[in-house]
Structure 1
Amino acid sequence: MDVYRGDVTVIADGTEYPAKADLRSWVEQRHVAAFGPTEAWVEGAADWNGKLEVRDEEVADMMMHAAERHLRMPDGRVGDFVVSRRSFDAGLLVIEGSGDPPF
């Protein structure tokens, strides 16, 4: 499992917003039973999720309703995500990554 905590840039419908991120990624292990005495574990696709903290509730609302959302890491790598939950009293978003983790 990989972990990233730190600054990121969120691009929502073409507008950039600074954010703090707490992200995790992992690779699922799938069990494959063989025809015979041996069994195997095979690596599956990588998944990632986490939390984003933005400056205020208004920015969180814009990100939640954006048609396109991208997360850019400090090294330039980019990943797409969807917002799964939001805190209505703060600028906190819970996200699910789409595709390979950018960290």
Structure 2
Amino acid sequence: MGGFFGKFKKFFVEGLLLILVVVFVLVGAQSVRTGTSAEGLAITQKAIHRALVQCYAIEGAYPPGVDYLEENYGVQIDHDRYFVYYEAYGQNMMPDVVVAEK
């Protein structure tokens, strides 16, 4: 007696469940991607800050630019992914450093 409407209801419910599962998977993947991106940004900022402090402790002066940290202190920056603003005020004042995603 269910006939056409019974089958339609069954396929509708199954289709709706499939759509919901796909949506949850896509939202979850986006959430992971966003979390990874924010984590990479924070790691880059911390690495630069640590290298600044280390450079000052060893050499008695802050470096003139980020490239100095990359060459001499092993800081690795993905320049395709991040923009680094570095403004030095003098050798004995900690520079302003801002890391942002492109």
TM-score band by shorter chain is under 0.3
TM-score (ref. length: structure 1):
0.27
Identify the structure with the greater helix proportion: 2
User: Which protein is bigger by CA-based radius of gyration?
Assistant: 2
